[in-house]
Structure 1
Amino acid sequence: MAVVSSKGDWFVSSCSSTLIAINLKKTRDLFVFDCAKAEKRIKEADGDEKSGGGSDKDSDKILAFAVSASGKHVALTDDHKRLVLFSTEPSWHCISTRWVMRRCTSVIFTQTEDEVYVADKSGDVYSFSVLEPQKPGKLHLGHVSMLLAVALSPDDKYIITADRDEKIRISFRLQPYNIQAFCLGHREFVSALLVPAGHPDWLLSGSGDGTVKVWHYETGQRLQSIDLNQLVILDDANLDTEKRFAVSRIISSPDGRHIAVQCEGFLSVQLFLVDAGTEVCLKSAEKLVLPHAPWDMTFDSQCHLWVLLENEDVNVLQYQYSEENWELCDTETPELSRVTEALKAQWNVFKGSMGLESQYKHLYKVNFDNMASYLQKKQERLEKESKKRAAANGSKPNSTEKRSKTESDTGIQSTG
Structure 2
Amino acid sequence: MVSLKKCRDNILFNSGKKLIIFNGDNIKTVNLPEPAHNLDKRGEKNVKDINDFNISCFSVSRDHKFIAISFENKEVMIMNEYFELLRKFVVARTTSAMSFTSSNSLIVADKTGDVFLYDLKEDAMTPVLMLGHLSVVLDVALTDCEKYVITCDRDEKIRVSKFPNSYNIQSFCLGHEKFVLSVKVLQNKLISASGDGMVRFWNYLDGKQLAVLNTNDYINDHIINQFKDEMNSQDVEVFALPITDMQCFSTENYIYIGISLFGYQKLLLFSLNPVSLKVNFCKHVYIGESFSFYLDDNLLFLTKTNILCLKLENDNYKGEVQNLIDIDDVHDLHLKSAFDIGLFYKKKFDNVEEYIERKKARLKLK
Shift of 1:119: 0.6
Query: Structure 1 residues 281 and 117 mapped into 2: Cα distance closer, same or farther (>3 Å)?
Result: farther
Aligned counterpart, 1:367: 348
| Residue matched to 1:120 | 110
**Letter of the aligned partner of 2:134 in structure 1?**
V
Residue 87 of structure 1, CA deviation: 1.0
Structure 2: gaps (5+ residues): 229-237
User: What pairs with 1:242-391 in structure 2 (closer than 5 Å)?
Assistant: 243=228, 244=238, 245-255=241-251, 257-278=255-276, 280-290=277-287, 292-300=288-296, 303-309=297-303, 311-312=304-305, 315-322=306-313, 325-328=316-319, 331=322, 336=324, 340-341=325-326, 344-345=327-328, 347-351=329-333, 353-356=334-337, 358-368=339-349, 373=353, 377=357, 381=360
SS at structure 1 position matched to 2:360: helix
Distance 1:75 1:356, change over 3 A: same
The residue that corresponds to 1:80 in the other structure is 73
- What amino acid does structure 2 have at the position aligned with 1:284? F
Alignment of 1:27-42 (within 5 A): 30=28, 32-34=30-32, 37-38=33-34, 40=36
| Number of the residue aligned with 1:185 | 175
The alignment's TM-score, normalised by the length of structure 2, stands at 0.85
Match of 2:21 in 1: 21
Q: Larger Rg: 1 or 2?
A: 1
- Distance in 2 (CA, whole Å) between partners of 1:162 and 1:365 is 16
**Percent identical across equivalent pairs?**
25
Q: Contact (CA 8 Å) 2:107, 2:115: kept in 1 or not?
A: yes
AA matched with 2:284? K
Aligned to 2:12: 12
Aligned 8 A contact 2:37 2:47 in 1: no
| 1:161-192, Cα deviation, whole Å (9 max, x unpaired) | 11111111111111111000001111111111
Structure in which a larger fraction of residues adopt strand: 2
Higher relative contact order (CA 8 A, sep 6+): 1
User: 2:194 corresponds to which residue?
Assistant: 207
28 and 323 in structure 1: CA distance in 2 versus 1, 3 angstrom threshold: closer
CA 1:381–1:259 in structure 2 vs 1: closer, same or farther (change >3 Å)? same
Instruction: Output one character per residue of 1:329-350: Cα deviation in whole Å (capped at 9) or x when no partner.
Output: 6747xxx3xxx25xx23x3333
Rounded to whole Å, the distance in 2 between the matches of 1:231 and 1:376 is: 44
CA shift for structure 1 position 8? 2.3
Secondary structure of 1:56's partner?
coil
Looking at secondary structure, tell me which structure has more helix per residue. 1
**2:209 matched residue in structure 1:** 222
SS in 1 for 2:92: coil
Alpha-carbon displacement from aligned partner over 1:290-333 (angstroms, at most 9, x marks no partner): 2x223321124xx1111111x32xx221111235542356747x
1:140 to 130, 150, 165: 130
Tell me if the contact between 2:152 and 2:181 (Cα under 8 Å) persists in the aligned partners: yes
CA offset at residue 57 of structure 1? 2.2
TM-score by length of 1: 0.75
Write the mapping of 1:58-69 to structure 2, written as runs, cut at 5 A. 59-69=52-62
- 1:276 and 1:354 map into 2 onto residues whose CA distance is 33
Equivalenced residue count is 351
Distance in 1 separating the partners of 2:37 and 2:216: 46
Task: Tell me if structure 2 keeps the 8 A contact 1:191–1:246.
Answer: no
| Alignment RMSD (CA, Å) | 3.1
Contact 1:233 1:241 in 2 (8 A): no
